[in-house]
Amino acid sequence: MRHTLARAALILCPTLALAVGDNEQQVSAPAISYGDRPAYLIDKLPEGALKTKLRSCEGQTPKRSLFSIGHRGAPMQYPEHTVESNVAAARMGAGILECDVTFTKDHELVCRHAQNDLHTTTNILVSDLADTCVVPFTPADGDTPATAECRTSELTLEQFRMLTPKMDSADKSATTAEAFQGGVAPWRSTLYTDGAASMTHAESIALFRDLGAKFTPELKSPAVEMPHDGFSQADYAQKLIDEYKAAGVPAKDVWAQSFNLDDVLYWIENEPEFGKQAVFLDASYRINGFVHTDPATFPHDFADLKAKGVNYIAPPLWMLLSVEDGKMVPSAWAKAAKKADLKIITWTLERSGPLAHGGGWYFQSVKDLTTDDSMYLQVLDVLAQDVGVEGVFSDWPATVTYYANCMGL
């Protein structure tokens, strides 16, 4: 499979060079190109200093940036967590690429956003493996939407490899499994799905390194009870790190993530070099009563997290922003995290589609200011210059790369 990924990357990017050394093919990093989207967004900006600055960089030579993080690759247009999606993100200059990590029935680590998302991200419901789904496809009936649930933990790695990736979507009005495969958002695309290749976590490490990128794996919450056939949560967290060690990847190139604080603390205690850059994904927004502008509602003591060895924290971007006197400013949450000397990474830019109607979940704290797609760049500017984030996940990394290069980040 190592050579298969190399060949797949070469086919996707003919400018890649294959060099034979130590009996192993290596794929050199692709040339970086912004494409049209950054200029499209700049054109939409209101006249002012930000637009003038960004326009002044239109002739710059694109460079890879660690500030730019590929969120599942580049899933605005490519099936997430595939070779194709990550090659596209690398072409856009993303300096860090993500593999969301879950496990199969035989406890092999694979790149998948959730252990139970196969019914929306692959063709499993129309394949010979449909009978492995824990919730079989059930057609829509009146106001009751169509449902299904299919897990990697029900498949061996060999079976997982038999699935075909697709854009993450489902037509919940469907009355057949074939129709359920649809539902792709109109601002995404199915143009680049043909032949898309999924990856194991170990294969993602090899590919990302060949593409010239660093690594941010996320240990996903299991959909099954742990331990799973003797495989404990600690085993799971350790195996993720072990695969970097086996590949000879230095800890300084890895930002392991988890929403589970215990995972982060496990890495800090048992793999301290990797633990230094472990990222605690903050899901405070799920807690009843949480208000990102009211410190009295914050469930975490930031100073205590820092004392325990947590150095990086990552909330959704809306938690870092609020509006005062009609101006976008850092939120109380952002100020408190910075005061505790926590480094902030945030997610996810360009996952919301067109912003003409407020931007939805990711822009909820600045929805009154969000009237068009130029808000992607305005939000990015405040996150970088006022909040001081270390990096930004995006579904289309070219925008973040362009901004980072222009601003010298």
Looking at the structure, tell me whether residues 96 and 40 fall in a common domain. yes
Bond before 165 cis per omega within 30 degrees: no
Looking at the structure, tell me whether residues 44 and 183 fall in a common domain. no
Looking at the structure, tell me whether residues 92 and 238 fall in a common domain. yes
Residue 77, domain CATH: 3.20.20.190
**Structural domain containing residue 321:** 2-113+189-407
Enter the pTM of the model. 0.94
Out of 173, 188, 203, a domain closes at 188
Confidence (pLDDT) at 129:
98
Looking at the structure, tell me whether residues 392 and 355 fall in a common domain. yes
Burial of 147 (0-12, 13-18, 19+ CB in 10 A): middle
Out of 188, 223, 238, a domain closes at 188
Looking at the structure, tell me whether residues 366 and 234 fall in a common domain. yes
Tens of pLDDT, residue by residue over 145-177, are 999 999 999 999 999 999 999 999 999 999 999
Along the chain (409 residues), what's the average pLDDT of each consecutive run of 10 residues? 50 43 52 97 98 97 98 98 98 98 98 98 98 98 97 98 98 98 96 97 98 98 98 98 98 98 98 98 98 98 98 98 97 98 98 94 97 98 98 98 97
Looking at the structure, tell me whether residues 288 and 394 fall in a common domain. yes
> Total structural domains in the chain?
2
Task: Please work out, in degrees rounded to the nearest 5, the angle formed at the alpha carbon of residue 167 by the alpha carbons of 165 and 170.
Answer: 110
In three-state secondary structure terms, 194 is coil
Q: Establish how many alpha carbons lie within 13 A of residue 328's alpha carbon, considering only the half-sphere containing its beta carbon.
A: 26
Looking at the structure, tell me whether residues 149 and 200 fall in a common domain. no
Confidence (pLDDT) at 25:
43
Looking at the structure, tell me whether residues 264 and 333 fall in a common domain. yes
Confidence (pLDDT) at 29:
80
Looking at the structure, tell me whether residues 165 and 218 fall in a common domain. no
Q: Is the CB of residue 320 less than 8 Å from the CB of residue 331? A: yes
Radius of gyration, CA atoms only, the chain = 21
Confidence (pLDDT) at 349:
98
Question: CA torsion sign, 302 to 304 to 307 to 312?
Answer: negative
Looking at the structure, tell me whether residues 20 and 101 fall in a common domain. yes
Q: Is the CB of residue 375 less than 8 Å from the CB of residue 322? A: no
Out of 148, 164, 188, a domain closes at 188
Q: Report how far residue 355's alpha carbon sits from residue 372's, in angstroms, rounded to the nearest whole number.
A: 5
Looking at the structure, tell me whether residues 203 and 272 fall in a common domain. yes
Confidence (pLDDT) at 12:
56
Looking at the structure, tell me whether residues 139 and 219 fall in a common domain. no
Confidence (pLDDT) at 7:
46
